[in-house]
Chain A
C-alpha cells in the first residue's frame, strides 16, 4: 500500500518536468537557430546604430590612429534643415514621388501577378521575362542606364536628343488625355494614369519582388473556393473582388511595406542620391548622417501610418482545423 502511494508521488512531478524540458529544449533550439542574427545584431548592428546617431550629433576629427568626436548637439540637424538650401526641397519632392510610385507599383504588380497566374500560352516565357529586371537591373546597371544615350537614339522617329528612354513615349499623353476627358473623370486621375504609363519602365523594374510575393499568395488560394464560386455562377470579376482580393490582403500589407522601404532605400531615390552626394563633400559626413536620420524618421512614420491603415482592411482567413 505504501509502495503504491510512493510511485504515484514520484512519477507525477517527473512527468511534468519532462514535458517542460522538451518545450524548453525546443525554445533553446530556436535561440540557437537565430543566434547568428542575434550575435550579428548585438555585436555589429547595435553599435553601428548607436555610433551613427552619435555621429549625427557630433563633429569628427580624424587623426592618425583613430578619430575623436566633439559633441555639437543639434548643429548638424539645424544645418540640414535650415542652412542647406536644397535638402528640404529634395525631401518634399522625394516624398511626392513616393506617394505616386507606391500605389502604382502595388496595383501594377498585383495586376501582373493575376495575369501571370492565369493559364495561357507562353506563361513560362512571360514569367521569365518579367523577372529579368529584379535580377539584372540593379546596382551598377541602374547607373549605366542613367547614362545611356543610345536607347532613345535607336528608337525610330524620336531622335530628339532629349535623352528620354523609349518607354517614356510609349503612349502619347495627349491621346490619353483626350480619351479621359471624354470620359469625364477628374484631371488628377488623368495625370496620374498618364504619368504612370510614361513611367512604366521604372515601375516594371521595381515591382519584381512584389510580383513574386503576390504570385505566391495567389497560388496558395485553394482551387476548391474558385470551383464553388463557378458552380454558384459568379463571374471572373466577382470572383476576383469577393475571393482573390480579400485572400491576398495580408500580402498587400506586406508588399506595401516592402515597397515603401525599397523605394526609400534604393540608390536611385532622389533623397538618397542627395544624401550620398552630401557624404562625399568635404566635412559633409556628419551632415549626411543627420540628414539620413531625419529621412529615416519620416520613413518610419510613414511605414507606421500606412501599416496601421492597411492592417484595418486586412482579411485573415481562419484556418479550419
Chain B
C-alpha cells in the first residue's frame, strides 16, 4: 500500500447509455478501520475515557449512596429492620415514618419558621455581601487592603471561639453604652462610671430613663391548654440597664447578616469581589458618563449582570442557614427554637421496643434528615446550573 498505488488512475466503465461506473483503487475497509482504531493515540483515548467514566460514576455513587440508603430506609416498615434478607428494597413498605414526622413532630410549623429565618438571612447576606464585595472590587480607597484583611479575619476566627461573648453580647445587647445611658445607667468608661462622681450627678443620670422595660411586638392570641385564649406577643424584648435581651429572637442572626459577619460571609464577600472584578470598568464608566450615580450604577447595571453569582451566594447562605444548628441553638437559650434542626426525634406512635429498635430509630432520624433537606433539594435542582455558571463567569484567576 504505498502512495503510488493509491494514486492510480480510477477505472472508468460505461455501464449503460447514461451511466458510468468509476472504480477507485481504495484501501480495504479492514485496513482503514485498523489504521483508525488500532493506533496508540486512539487506544489511549479510549482507556482514558473508561478510566474517567469509572471514576466519575464511582464518586457519584459515593456521594449518592447515603441518600439512597436513607430513602430506602424511610419507606421500610418496622419488621424490615429485623429481616436480614432486606437490603435496599423494603418488603413491607409503609409511609408511617413520614406520617409520624409530619403529624406528631410539628413539621409544618418548624418548616415555616425555618423558611422565614433562612430567607431573611439569605437575602440580607446576599445583598450586604454584594455591596461589600463591590466596594472592595471597584473602588480604591485608603485602608482598603487592611479592611479586606479584617474581612478575612472574621472568617478565620471560628464563631465557636466567640460563642460565649456572642451569647453575652446579644443577651445584653448594647452599642457603646447607649442603652445604658438612656436607661439611667450613666456613662461607663474602662470600669469607671460617671455616676460615682457624686450624689447629684448620679440622680441626674438616673433621671434619664426614657426607655421602656419591655418592648412587645406581633400580638397574637394564644390558645391555652384549658381551651381559653390569652393574648400574647411573639416578640418580647426585655430592656435593663445592661442592655436589650435579644436572645430567643431572630435579631442576633439578622444583625450578624446585616454586618456581613454571619456564617461564612467572608467567603461570599471574597467570591463576589472576584466576580465584580471580572466586570470591565468601561461598563461603569459609560454609566457615569450618562450621569448615573455609583449606587444607581450598582443597582441597575452591575446587579443584573451578576445574577448567576448572586444566586450562587444566595443558595449557599440559604442552605447553610437552613441546616445550621450552631447559631440557632446558641441564641435560643431558655427555650428550644421551633426550627427544623430540632425536628430530629422519634414520634410517639412509632416508639417500639424490639430487636430492630436501633436500626429503626436510626431510619426515623434519617427520614427526619430527608424531610429537612427536601426543600433544599428542590432549590438545588433549580439553582445548580447557576452554581457553576456564576463561578465560571467570575474569572477568579485574575
Which one, B1-9, B137-145, B220-228, is touching chain A?
B137-145
- In the bound complex, residues from chain A placing their C-beta under 8 Å from that of B241 are 65-66
Question: Roughly how many angstroms separate A43 CA and B174 CA in the complex, as a whole number?
Answer: 9
Is the Cβ of B73 less than 8 Å from the Cβ of A154?
yes
Q: How far is the CA of A130 from the CA of B397 in the complex (A)?
A: 22
The CA-CA distance from A128 to B383 in the complex, in Å, is 10
B307 within 8 A of A: no
Chain B residues touching A, range = 35 or more
Residue contact A45 to B261, C-beta cutoff 8 Å: yes
Given A27-B139, A65-B242, A212-B388, verify A279-B56 contact (CB < 8 Å): no
CA distance A138 to B136 in the complex (A): 29
Among candidates A26, A55, A200, A279, residue contacting B139 with C-beta atoms closer than 8 Å? A26
Q: Could you mark each residue 207-232 of chain A with 1 if its beta carbon is under 8 Å from any beta carbon of chain B, else 0?
A: 00100110111011100000000000
A261 on the B face (CB < 8 A) = yes
Bound together, the chains give a CA A37 to CA B358 distance in angstroms of: 48
The answer to whether A247 touches B397, judged by C-beta atoms less than 8 angstroms apart, is yes
- Contact (Cβ within 8 A) A288 B372: no
Checking B60, B87, B160, B269 against A129 with a beta-carbon cut-off of 8 angstroms, the contacting residue is: B60
Residues from chain B with Cβ under 8 Å of A26 in the complex? 139-141, 294
Q: Does B336 contact A (CB under 8 A)?
A: no
**Do A135 and B135 touch (CB < 8 A)?**
no
B35 interface contact, C-beta 8 A: no
Does A66 lie within 8 Å of B240, measured CB to CB?
A: yes
Q: Does B117 contact A (CB under 8 A)?
A: no
Contacts of A200 in B (CB 8 A): 59, 62
Dominant secondary structure of chain B at its interface with chain A = helix
B341 interface residue, CB < 8 Å from A? yes
Whether B132 lies near A41 (C-beta < 8 A) is: no
Indicate if A151 sits at the interface (CB-CB under 8 A).
yes
Q: Are B366 and A144 in contact (CB under 8 A)?
A: yes
CA distance A155 to B56 in the complex (A): 20
Q: Which of B157, B242, B259 is A296 in contact with, Cβ under 8 Å?
A: B157
Q: How far is the CA of A312 from the CA of B373 in the complex (A)?
A: 42
* Beta-carbon contacts under 8 Å, A126-174 to B: 126-136, 138-141, 143-145, 147-151, 153-156, 159, 165-167, 170
Q: Size range of the interface on A?
A: 35 or more
Residues of B within 8 A of A41 (CB): 150, 154, 259, 261
Q: Is B258 an interface residue (CB 8 A)?
A: yes
Contact A135 B319 (CB under 8 A): yes
Q: How far is the CB of A123 from chain B (nearest CB, A)?
A: 9
Decide: A45 near B365, CB < 8 A? Known: A29-B139, A30-B141, A135-B380: no
Residues from chain B with Cβ under 8 Å of A286 in the complex: 164
Determine whether the beta carbon of A40 is less than 8 Å from that of B261: yes
In the bound complex, residues from chain B placing their C-beta under 8 Å from that of A57 are none
Q: Within 8 Å CB of A147, what residues of B?
A: 362, 365
A154 near B391 (CB under 8 angstroms)? no
Contact A138 to B63, CB < 8 A, known contacts A30-B139, A212-B388: no
Q: At the interface, yes or no: A3 with Cβ under 8 Å from chain B?
A: no
Other-chain residue from B162, B385, B397 in contact with A248 (beta carbon distance below 8 A): B397
Contact with B along A280-294 (1 / 0, CB 8 A): 000001101100110
How far does the Cβ of A275 sit from chain B's closest Cβ, in whole Å? 6
Is B387 touching A144 in the complex (CB atoms < 8 A)?
Answer: no
Q: Which of A39, A136, A140, A285 contacts B259 (CB 8 A)?
A: A39
Chain B residues 365 to 388 lying within 8 A of chain A, measured CB to CB, are 365-366, 368-369, 372-373, 376-377, 380, 384-385, 387-388
A33 at the interface (CB under 8 A from B): yes
Chain B interface: which of A78-86, A95-103, A264-272? A264-272
- A153 touching B359 by the CB < 8 A rule? yes
Using CB atoms, name the residue of chain B closest to A166: B65
Decide: A51 and B397 in contact? CB cutoff 8 A: no
Q: Are B169 and A51 in contact (CB under 8 A)?
A: yes
Within 8 A of B (CB), among A52-105: 52, 55, 65-67
CB neighbours (8 Å) of B240 from chain A are: 65-66
Assess whether B106 is interfacial by the CB under 8 Å rule.
no
Which chain B residues border A106 with CB–CB below 8 Å?
A: none
Report which of B260, B274, B341, B391 forms a contact with A215, defined as CB distance below 8 A. Answer: B391
Chain B residues with Cβ under 8 A from A261's Cβ?
155-156
- Do B172 and A66 touch across chains, with their CB atoms under 8 A apart? yes
Q: A113 CA to B73 CA in the complex, in Å? A: 33
Pairwise interchain contact B156-A300, C-beta atoms closer than 8 A: yes
A155 vs B155: C-alpha distance when bound (angstroms)? 39
A52, A118, A204 pick with most chain B CB within 10 angstroms: A52
Q: Are A265 and B160 in contact (CB under 8 A)?
A: yes
Among A130, A149, A209, A216, contact of B59 (Cβ-Cβ < 8 Å):
A130
Q: Is A309 part of the contact surface with B, judged by Cβ < 8 Å?
A: no
7 closest A-B pairs by CB: A40-B259, A30-B139, A33-B135, A139-B323, A265-B158, A27-B141, A66-B242
